[in-house]
Amino acid sequence: MDLLTAKALLERGETTPLALLEEALERARAFQDRNALAHLDEEGAKEEAQRLTEELRQGYIRGPLHGIPLTVKDLFPVKGMPTRAGTRAPLPPLPEEAQAVRRLREAGALIFAKTNMHEVALGITGENPWTGPVRNALDASRQAGGSSSGSAVAVALGIGLASLGSDTGGSIRIPAAFNGVVGFKPSYGRVSLEGALPLSRSTDHAGPIAKTVRDAHFLTEILAGESIPLEGPQNPTFGVPLDFLEGRLGVEVRRAFQRLLEELPSLRAEVREVSLPLPGVYEVYTRLVRYEAARIHEKALREHPEGFSPQVREALMAGLALTEKDYRDAVAEREALRLQLVKALRGVDALLLPAQPLP
């Protein structure tokens, strides 16, 4: 069931917050092998669900998410729950609750669990030596993607109706794609990251993972605190950067993407080839993120390096070795790449690319 369907059932009195929570808990028990959850507050959630159910019975509505069970990625502090961000290293000081979580609560959401993630959000596979790998919702032998691994798997399996994730270099979009749900990375700064554990302050985004585009839009409006248009142009023009994709896609993904391109004209969408060379984009991204992440975790790196798994520690140490000049050069190169991207978007409504090159 998607979020807006559940909301309609609640409004018609055809279900209750307690019933929705019980269903989410049942799914969590049934799919424990996927390792989606970092922390589950079953007792506290049942008490809160009972309160929300009683309020609804009396006609009191806290907000547009009244009684909707949601999960939250374990780098957003949630009052009454631990925050570990998938690591054994000590974290920098964090508040009792992140602002985005407060927004959800104020809207009446029932936050009952925190989700597992790639360690400190520095990775895209969802494999974590400390907490164990999050396993794909559709096929437990495959990766879940990351870093918002548990959030995407939870949504795909019905462990809650949506989840709050974060995205620096694909961390919402990749696990959403791997698990067959909708991940949306809003514009930078649109959804507050105040109080959340950062990975890269200049690159981090917060956003929803949900079952449908309409659910993701609904949640984004609540998280951003503003009305956001849902409908796009009637006859959109998509830019496809074939030069950028050349040689990058696995056979299955390339075939699926080609089928999509062939179908778009029948949906009254135009497809136009655009140039998107973006030279050195990954290297620039890596320098920026590692430099910023290393400064966030610098104290723990120096005092408790064993708290980070070897792969994450190596990446953070590489960031620590970068100089301020290296960083400033990367910032300037990012601006040049941004201008190239703006140029590529001229005359098209959006760029269209596969989320990942391989299944």
Instruction: Tell me the torsion sign for CA atoms 208, 17, 144, 125.
Output: positive
294 pLDDT above the threshold of 90:
yes
The answer to whether residue 278 scores a pLDDT higher than 90 is no
Q: Average pLDDT, stretch 223-236? A: 92
- Domain ranges in the chain are 3-224, 235-358
pLDDT at residue 97, rounded to an integer: 98
> For residue 197, is pLDDT > 90?
yes
In whole angstroms, what is the distance from residue 339 CA to residue 123 CA? 27
Proportion of the chain above pLDDT 90, given as a percent = 96
Average pLDDT rounded to a whole number, residues 152-179: 98
Its pTM stands at 0.97
The yes-or-no verdict on residue 62 having pLDDT over 90 is yes
- Residue 9 contacts residue 15 (beta carbons within 8 Å): yes
CA distance 158 to 243: 39
67-71, 104-108, 232-236, 351-355: which range is least confident on average?
232-236
Examine the pLDDT at 333 and tell me if it is beyond 90.
yes
For position 194, what pLDDT does the model report?
A: 98
**Residue of 73, 114, 185, 211 marked catalytic:** 73
Question: At CA 166, angle to CA 313 and CA 41, rounded to 5?
Answer: 90
Non-local CB neighbours of 3 within 8 Å, separated by 6+ positions: 68, 161, 162, 210, 211, 212, 215, 218, 219
* Angstrom distances, CA of residue 131 to CA of 41, 118, 134, 250: 18, 9, 9, 30
DSSP class of 297? T
Q: Which entry of 148, 151, 163, 171 is annotated as an active-site residue?
A: 171
**Residue 275: which pLDDT band, with cuts at 50, 70 and 90?**
very high
Residue in 129, 138, 112 with CA at minimum distance from that of residue 31: 138
What is the rounded average pLDDT for all residues in the chain?
Answer: 97
pLDDT at 73 over 90: yes
Residues 6+ apart with CB under 8 A from 328: none
Q: Is 151 a known active-site residue? A: no
Q: What average pLDDT does range 168-184 have in this prediction?
A: 98
Q: Does the annotation mark 299 as catalytic?
A: no
The CA–CA distances, whole Å, from 245 to 165, 255, 275 equal: 27, 13, 10
pLDDT reported for residue 232: 83
Q: Respond yes or no: is residue 147 known to be catalytic.
A: yes
Domain 3-224, CATH number (from 2.40.160.10, 3.10.20.30, 3.90.1300.10, 3.40.309.10)? 3.90.1300.10
Arithmetic mean of pLDDT, 78-97: 98
Q: What is the DSSP letter of 327?
A: H
Burial of 187 from C-beta contacts in 10 A (0-12 / 13-18 / 19+): exposed
